[in-house]
Amino acid sequence: MAGGGVGDPTGKKKKYAIFGVTSFLLVAMVIAVAYGINSGDHQDGSNPSAEITTSSKSVQSICQPTDYREICEKSLRKAAGNTTDPHKLVQAGFQVTIDALQQALQNSSTLKEVAKDPMAKQALDNCKELMDDAIHDLKVSFEEVGHFDVSKMDEYLENLKIWLSATITYQQTCLDGFDNTTGPAGAKMKEILTLSSQLSSNGLAMITGLSSMLKDLNLAGLTGRRLLKDNSEFPSWLSHEKRRLLAQTPDTVKPDIVVAKDGSGQYKTINEAVHKIPKNQNTTFVIYIKKGIYKEQVTISRSVTHIMMIGDGATKTRITGDLNYAAGVQTLQTSTVSVSGNHFIAKDIGFENTAGAIGHQAVALRVQSDMSIFYNCQMDGYQDTLFAHTHRQFYRDCTITGTIDFIFGDAAAVFQNCKIVVRKPLENQNCVVTAQGRNESREATGFVLQNCNITADPEYYPVRFENKAYLGRPWKEYSRTVYMQCQIDDLIDPKGWLPWMGSFALDTLSYSEYENRGPGSVTKDRVTWKGIKKLSAQDAAAFTVAKFIGGDLWIPATGVSYASGMMNV
């Protein structure tokens, strides 16, 4: 029969089969061209290195861009057998990493006996959650490789880089929890995670290497982003009746659940409502939270996806808490609200931690939701207000307040048209807006602040030259932050950026300022570290919403107003 198979009059099955074969051939060709799999063969067909099989050469090629090449080759040869299929080799790399993390998770239980310090015990509990998150992202990556679609090459590779970056971050966050704890638990956990950390790094290197090869080969039509056309095409998870939700108000949107402290809704607390949300759904579920102060710790778990929370205003609907490090709570667990489920949307809501400057690390909002949006929201705190932990995040028209490192984490996050307000710290403290935590140079993460207003809270204003404020400092070795087209008031010290400790990361970080304005934007007295980068117009374009977080693929359907590229300011 001509055309497609039985029951497939459009021929789609045949088309997809062709795409699948093409995908395999493409990846195989790229590896062969870039690394010369058969370069050892003579014209007469003989091979002086006969002991190196084609499979072995394929493994060497896949592992070439990695930092831990010996471990990569050894693990792949053992896991992949004699296959030369690039898909299966990459999947084998992910699988051995999953296995290593699962083994680390089992081994971590042996640390209970040595984790005498209460904070170390909390860190150990956090590690179990974080390793589970890392395993999840690796499994998603494994499946993505299996469903590779050549027509969406660029989108496919960017997804993998984001998820693998998160896998690395979760393991580092686990280890960070043992800082300032006593006993051997931290050192033992670092030992337990050594193999999985190296394998995670190798996985990211493989995907980054493939991405670089494709760009070098300039294969036309295979790396273009798929854009939404006039907002008429929407992601499958956004149902027709709930599209353009962020353009709606409580008066026009039809919520699935209403929360109200005064009893006028179905529930009086947000947690009651969250427990009623269907798991793993693929259409948007709307929770309307009426005005009021909700003192509760809210967690949106990984299995609760496609949630939209809409309030009556960022100063009217407020979720508040006061857990803090000074009171003996690990930073990760101080969050008033934690969001892990992907495609989370919040509008007109306030998130707050009231511990104050004396509480030290005290998180108002922690986000690891991929493709999440916060629109017209407010995050209030002091130290560590917003933990932009992992994945792709977009903040538009938000207000974020704090003192030290109050926007921190390792997400790929863009803050657009936001008001960044520095508050008064303790007497002996300086203030730092950002502490971005990129662990490796290949990670597709960083903070971009575009057309934001960096300003002083009225209580901080009189002491702004005594308790100095800085744009950021490097929490991790490859910390990356860009301020562009922002209004920066005179509170920012002329040096601009602050070291973390000594010369740590000053050569490897990536900090940039581009087309900013205001008295605090003058760069003539800025620090001159090797990691300070001067951007061209083309360089700056790489940090726009469209390019840095692929926003044109997922933001338009929600109806949020945003600038895809550079702004007219």
Please say if the pLDDT value at position 140 is more than 90. Answer: yes
State the pLDDT at residue 151. 65
Band of the pLDDT at 557, cuts 50, 70, 90? confident
State the pLDDT at residue 209. 81
**DSSP states of 57-72 as a string?**
HHHHHHHTT-SSHHHH
Band of the pLDDT at 243, cuts 50, 70, 90? low
Q: What percent of the chain has pLDDT over 90?
A: 70
Please say if the pLDDT value at position 251 is more than 90. Answer: no
- Is 380 a residue of the active site? no
- Distance CA(29)–CA(217), nearest Å, equals 11
Domain locations in the chain?
54-220, 245-558
Strands of 404-409's sheet, edge to edge? 298-300, 337-339, 365-367, 386-388, 404-409, 431-436, 469-472
Band of the pLDDT at 144, cuts 50, 70, 90? confident
CATH code for the structural domain at 245-558: 2.160.20.10
Average pLDDT value for the chain: 87
CA 561 to chain centre: 22
- Distance CA(431)–CA(89), nearest Å, equals 47
Please say if the pLDDT value at position 33 is more than 90. Answer: no
From 237-251, 308-322, 336-350, the region with the lowest mean pLDDT: 237-251
Please say if the pLDDT value at position 129 is more than 70. Answer: yes
Band of the pLDDT at 218, cuts 50, 70, 90? low
Higher pLDDT, 475 or 143: 475
3-state DSSP helix/strand/coil percent for the chain, to nearest 5? 35, 20, 45
Element (H, E) at 446: strand 446-450
pLDDT digit string (tens) for 161-195? 999 999 999 999 999 999 989 889 999 999 999 99
Which residue among the candidates 137, 384, 397, 405 is catalytic per the annotation?
405
Domains 54-220 and 245-558 in one fold: no
Decide yes or no: CATH 1.20.140.40 for domain 54-220: yes
